[in-house]
Amino acid sequence: MEDTGGFGTSFVGHYADLSIIYVSTKTRVGVRRTPWTAVYRTNLRTGETKRLTPDGQSDLSPAVSPSGTRVAVASFQSGWTGEIEHLKTDIVLMNVDRYASGGSLDRKPIVNDGGWPSWGSDNIIFFHRGIEELEDPASGRSRTATSWGVFRYDLSTMQIDRVTPTGMDAMTPAAISETKVAVATIRSRTNDYFMTNWRGEEQYRHIEIFDVSSPDQPPVKITQNIFTDADYYSPFVLNDGSRIGYHRVGRDTMIQKDNGNSNVPRIFDNMQSPHVDVKLFRVSSLVPSFSADGSKFAFVRNDMKNIWIADKQRLCLLQVCSSPTCIFSLVWNQNPDMDTLYACVVAGANRSMHIKALSNVSSSDSYVVFIQLTKGDFFNAYPSTNPEGTKVVFQSTRDHGDYEYKNLYIMEDAQIGEFGEGSVTRLTNGPWIDTQCQWSPRGNWIVFSSTRDKPAAAPENYNELDPGHFAIYLVNAADPTVVVRVVTSGDPGPGASSIAGHVNHPVFSPDGRSIAFTSDIAAVSAEPISMPMASVMASVRPYGDIFSVDIDPDDICRNKDIDRVHRVTHSRYEYSTNAWTKLTPTIPRIPLDHMMSTM
C-alpha cells in the first residue's frame, strides 16, 4: 500500500529535485501486531527511493511543509496495542533529505498525543487529538468514549491552542493558512453505531472551516450546503486554499429502475495480488461465498436483508420470504450437486440466530423459502458442510445457559438438521468461544477460530467489545481430542502476548494445503478516525488484513504454531470475511446494467 502522498525537495549533488513523500507497507515487519507503515521519499527524476522512518519505528499521515524541506508524521509512541479508534501517536518532525541537513534527518517529537498533521505555514502545524473519558461515570461501566478536537502548534513558541470547541468532534484538519483550517466535524454523536435509524444533520460528518483569527465568527459550513444527509470526511486544500476537496461516503443500494435495468454501482473488482499464484477479487458486500466448483457466488449487501447470487450469466436477487431482521454467514454446500445455500438468520426479540437452508437455488424462478435446521433460542452460526454435503458443522451457544460461550457442533443430517430424525453431536467443549468454522475439502479436519488459550488474567472486554485473544485451530473431525493451534496473532510460542489480538474467519484453499484468514498481525495502516467506518468503531472491531499460511495436509500435528505467514492484502484499515475458489471469477465481465433480474 502506498498512501498519503505529498511533494518535497531532495538533492542530487548540489541540484534540488522534486520528490514525493508517502507512507508505504512494502517492507515486511517481523514482529506481529506491529504496523508495517513507514514514510519514504522517491525522487521523481531519478526514481531513487529512500526510507525516512527509522528501522523499528512506524509512521502514519506524512505532511510536507510548504517549503518542501521538512515532513511531519504521526509516529507510534510505543507500538500498537489493539486501539481501534484512538491511536497512541505523537507528531514527529524530520527533514526530507539528509544531504540538505548535514547528513541527518534531525528527527524529533514536537507534540505528544497527536495525529494527522497539516502545515499552515513553515511555522504552524494543525493536528487532531483524541481525548478519552468514561462515557457515563455514574453508571460504573468501564466503557470509554473518545472526543476529538483540532489543535494548532506554533514551532517558534511551542504553544498549542485548541481550534475547535469542546462539545463536538472535529478531526482530520487540512490547513488553508496559518489561521484557517478545514476539518471534518460531528456536532452530535449518535449511539446508533450501525446507523440503522434516522440521523439529524448534526449527527452526520460534515466539512467546516474554522478561523482562529476570528474566534467570534461562526465556522463556514461547506457540505451542509450541498447535501445534509450524508457523511463527508478527510478534506484537502486545492489552489492555495481557494477550493476545498473532500471525500464522501456512498450510500447507494442495489435498486432496479422502472425499465428493468439497475443503478448498481461497480461492486466487483479484480485487484493486484502480491502472490503470482493467487488472484484477488474484491466484492463490496458482506459474507461472500463461492460454490465448491467456483461457478456460483453468493453475498449479502450492507442492508443484510437479501441474498444475491451471481454466475457467468446473471446477478439475481433472491426475494427471501418472511423478511428476516438480518441475514448473515452465507455458505454453499460443498457438494455441487446439492445446489444448497445455507444462511444464518437473526429474528425475534431475543435476537437468537438460526441456520436455514435454501435448496435448488440455481433453478428457482420464484420466491425462495428458508428451511430451518436449528432449534431453540440459541446463537447458531457459521455452518459448513463436509465434502459429501451430508453433515454440517456450526457454532452454537447451547449448553452454556447464556450467550457468552460458543462451541462447535455437527448436524448429522444436512437436509433436516435437528428436526424429525435429525440429531446434533457436540464437537468441542469448553468455557470459551469456538467460532467461524469450516470443514476441509478432504473432510478430515475442521478449521476454526477460538479464544480457548486466552489468559485467565485477560480482561473480559474492551469498551464492552471482545479484547481479542483469538487464534486459529484445527480439530480432527473424527477425533475431537486432537486439536492443534495453527496461527496466533502475536509471535508464536507460550505466553499471553502470543494470542493478544485477532485471527479470524479461516477458510481452506480448494486443495486443502493452505488456510486464509483475517488478522491484525500487521496492526492498522491508517488513522482509523479518518476512515468512513470510524463512526461505528465503537461497535464493530476491525479484524485487519487477509493473510495465508501453508499447512501440511497429511499430518495435523505438524501444523502447530506456524511461524511463516503471507500477507495477501494491504488495506488502509480492514478486509474482513473472505472466500477462496479454485477458478478465476468471470463475474466482473458481466454488464451489470443489463443482467439484473429478480428471481
DSSP line for 5-50: EEEEEEEETTEEEEEEEEEE--S--SSTT----EEEEEETTT--EE
pLDDT for position 535: 46
Give the alpha-carbon dihedral of 151, 154, 160, 163, to 10 degrees: -30
What pLDDT is attached to residue 142? 55
Q: Cα separation of 91 and 114, whole Å?
A: 6
- Which stretches in the chain have pLDDT values below 70? 1-16, 100-102, 134-143, 190-198, 250-268, 302-303, 319-325, 347-351, 364-368, 402-403, 461-467, 491-499, 533-542, 573, 583-599
- Assigned CATH class of 268-598: mainly beta
The CA–CA distances, whole Å, from 222 to 246, 252, 409 equal 10, 22, 54
Per-residue pLDDT of 295-326, as tens digits, reads 888 888 766 777 888 877 777 777 665 555 68
Q: Residue 531 burial (CB < 10 Å; 0-12/13-18/19+)?
A: buried
> Which residue ranges make up each domain of the chain?
1-113, 144-156+174-251, 268-598
Residue 51: per-residue pLDDT: 94
d(CA 524, CA 38): 12
DSSP state of 262: B
DSSP 415-479: TTTTSTT--EEE---SSSBEEEEEE-TTSSEEEEEE-TT--TTS-S-BTTB-----EEEEEESS-
pLDDT value for 230: 86
DSSP category for residue 535: G
Cell numbers standing for residue 184? 471534518
| Overall size of the chain counted in residues | 599
Helix (H, G, I), strand (E, B) or coil at 593: helix
Give the other-Cβ count within 10 Å of 96's Cβ: 28
**Helix or strand run (H / E) with residue 595:** helix 592-595
Task: Determine the pLDDT at residue 582.
Answer: 81
Check if the beta carbon of residue 37 is closer than 8 Å to that of residue 525: yes
Of 125, 81, 35, 598, nearest to 316 by C-alpha is 598
Cell, residue 524: 492498522
Q: Amino acid letter at 321?
A: C
Amino acid 274: pLDDT: 79
Distance between CA atoms of 404 and 495, rounded to whole angstroms? Answer: 24
Q: How many whole angstroms separate alpha carbon 530 and alpha carbon 148?
A: 11
Residue 222 · residue 237 · CB < 8 Å: no
Indicate if the alpha-carbon torsion angle 429, 433, 435, 440 is positive or negative.
negative
CA distance 166 to 321: 48
CA-nearest of 129, 170, 58, 57 to 525 is 58
Per-residue pLDDT at 20:
92
Q: Output DSSP code: residue 517.
A: E
pLDDT tens-place string over residues 186-215: 998 765 544 455 678 888 999 999 999 998
pTM of the model: 0.88
Q: How many CB atoms lie within 10 A of CB 430?
A: 12
| Residues contacting 247, CB < 8 A, separation 6+ | 232, 233, 234, 532
Contacts of 569 (CB under 8 A, 6+ apart): 271, 280, 545, 546, 575
* Grid cell locating 127: 493536528
Would you give the end-to-end CA distance of the chain in angstroms?
Answer: 40
Which helix or strand (DSSP H or E) is residue 507 part of?
strand 503-508
Bridge pairing between strands 341-346 and 353-358? antiparallel
* Cα distances (Å, whole numbers) of residue 188 to 204, 206, 524: 8, 11, 27
